[in-house]
Amino acid sequence: MTTTDFHLTGAYAPVHDELTAFDLPVTGALPPELTGWYLRNGPNPRADNQHWFTGDGMVHGVRLDRGRAAWYRNRWVRTESFADPDLKLYNEDGTRNLHSSVANTHVVNHAGRTLALVESSLPYEITTELETVGVYDFGGELADAMTAHPKICPATGELHFFGYGSITAPHVGYYRADAAGKLVVKQPIDVPGLTMMHDFAFTGEHVVFYDLPVVFDRASAGRGMPYRWDTGYGARLGVLRRDRPEAGVRWLDIEPCYVFHTLNAFDTADRRIVVHVLRYDHQWWAGHEDPAASLWRWTIDLAAGTVTEDRLDDRPGEFPRIDDRLAGSDTRFGHVTGRGVLRRHDLHAGTATEHVFAPGRTPGEAVFVPADDGEGWLLTYVHDKAEDRSDLVVLDAGNLAAAPVAAVHLPQRVPAGFHGNWLPDA
């Protein structure tokens, strides 16, 4: 086994059974208003694969119902390439086959559809019961891959997203769907190379793209991740106006780095743009160990044409989340998963509180769920190494250091994975 095979062992190892279990045991008391579905996606390869990012997608879901943990189930996302492993990644003309997908990165809900996402392909629609409906292309309007990190504007209900990966220019496209799910904006974005553009940011007035020096490496294709760090590529942020996407992107240089995930972004009263990200000094640089990410702030001054870069915390973290009702505005709190901790950053005060898990208990991404009155909760799957099992843990976001509000004990381990969402009852 090589050092890159960590995703096949321990907490990362795939599970082999698709289960359904009812009336799950609970320690503590589930808040009755937590009625809905917690769904989280992640890689669960059926065979040895060469990188964590390339495993078949499996969604793990828990249904909470007025204080009861009604059920747990896990299902692979049955994409066309899941059903037909011989389905080619590329068409005969060299274009990407957008139906060939592992759909392993995220689960989002917009305009009544729940979508399993991976950035290299079209979305796949699933039900809240985790059955796969099929590929979704916005009624034939989308002929591009879709990022696994779309953004829903809480003011308009619009879904903002981008696609990247075209071998020929333009390599990136920006898209917007209205609140009803109709695709209304298609805007090509010119970048000089085929970079790995995993996430982006949006505010009330702008969309911000990250053109960073992790670039496609054809020689690595088929042997793990086909991307590498390019010291000569440079790094820049691209700003597009939401009200005039056809006017194009304005680019501003930053220090070379890489970003997988955005915490949030907003416009200031003095016409600047603030973006909070989890930033790596570099990623996949041959001969260099990949560093951990930490919380940074970029302040974009369009009038001066500059970006001020500030490190806000030197502790490692990833999988940032906010109260999604405040996306694109100056939200005060952001939540980050660290090594055995969940961290709540007060972005106004510059302080942070933590929930520290017992040794051997490891949390994943924590999703914020608002309360009817008061702050809200954080929901996360937690792996217990000693017992090799997982719980769905509910924490009081406003009193993060306190003991968990509740823990739902699951019938099997949930492998370490990526992203998910809370889907409340309508």
| Tens digits of residue pLDDT in 233-287 | 999 999 999 999 999 999 999 999 999 999 999 999 999 999 999 999 999 999 9
Given a cut of 60, whether residue 1 has pLDDT beyond it is no
- Contact, 115 vs 133, CB < 8 A? no
**Averaged pLDDT, 73-87:** 94
The confidence band for 3, taking pLDDT boundaries of 50, 70 and 90, is: very low
29 φ/ψ angles, rounded to the nearest 5 degrees: -130, 120
pLDDT confidence of residue 346: 98
pLDDT digits (tens, 9 = 90+) for 323-332: 999 999 999 9
Residue 220: pLDDT over 70: no
The model's pTM: 0.96
- Inter-CA distances, 128 with 21, 114, 201, 421, Å: 15, 7, 27, 11
Identify the band that residue 8 occupies on the pLDDT scale cut at 50, 70 and 90: confident
In this structure, of 21-35, 156-170, 394-408, the range with the lowest mean pLDDT score is 156-170
Show Cβ contacts of residue 90 under 8 Å, excluding neighbours closer than 6 positions.
96, 97
Binning the chain into helix, strand and coil, the percentages to the nearest 5 are 5, 45, 50
Question: Mean pLDDT for the chain?
Answer: 95
The model's pLDDT over 144-162, given as tens digits with 9 standing for 90+, comes to 999 999 999 999 999 999 9
Average pLDDT estimate for 389-414? 98
C-alpha separations of 157 from 112, 117, 163, 179, 320 in Å: 12, 19, 20, 5, 21
CA distance 107 to 125: 9
Residue 417 tokens read as: 């994975």
Give me the pLDDT at residue 426, please: 74
With bands split at pLDDT 50, 70 and 90, how would you rate the model's confidence at 224?
Answer: low
Question: Exposure of 269 by Cβ count < 10 A (0-12 exposed, 13-18 middle, 19+ buried)?
Answer: exposed
The pLDDT of residue 226 is above 60: yes
What is the Cα–Cα distance from 118 to 121, expressed in whole angstroms?
A: 6
Q: What percent of the chain clears pLDDT 90, i.e. is strictly above it?
A: 88
Across 338-346, average pLDDT: 97
pLDDT at 6: 75
- Judged against a pLDDT cut of 60, whether residue 294 lies above it is answered with yes
Arithmetic mean of pLDDT, 402-418: 97
Is the confidence at residue 396, as pLDDT, over 60?
Answer: yes
pLDDT, position 222: 56
Ranking 92-96, 144-148, 415-419 by mean pLDDT, the lowest is 92-96
Give the per-residue pLDDT at 251. Answer: 98
Q: Tell me the pLDDT tens digit for each residue of 359-376.
A: 999 999 999 999 988 799
What confidence tier does 2 reach under pLDDT thresholds 50, 70, 90? very low
pLDDT of 247: 95
Confidence grade of residue 4 (pLDDT, cut at 50, 70, 90): low
pLDDT at 336: 98
Query: Which of helix, strand or coil describes residue 52?
Result: helix
Number of H helices, E strands in the chain: 1, 33
Residues 6+ apart with CB under 8 A from 2: none
Higher pLDDT among residues 93 and 135, named by residue: 135
Q: Looking at residues 167-188, what average pLDDT do you find? A: 95
Residue 392 has pLDDT above 50, yes or no: yes
- Phi, psi for 5 (deg, rounded to 5): -95, 15
Q: Which amino acid, one-letter code, is at 41?
A: N
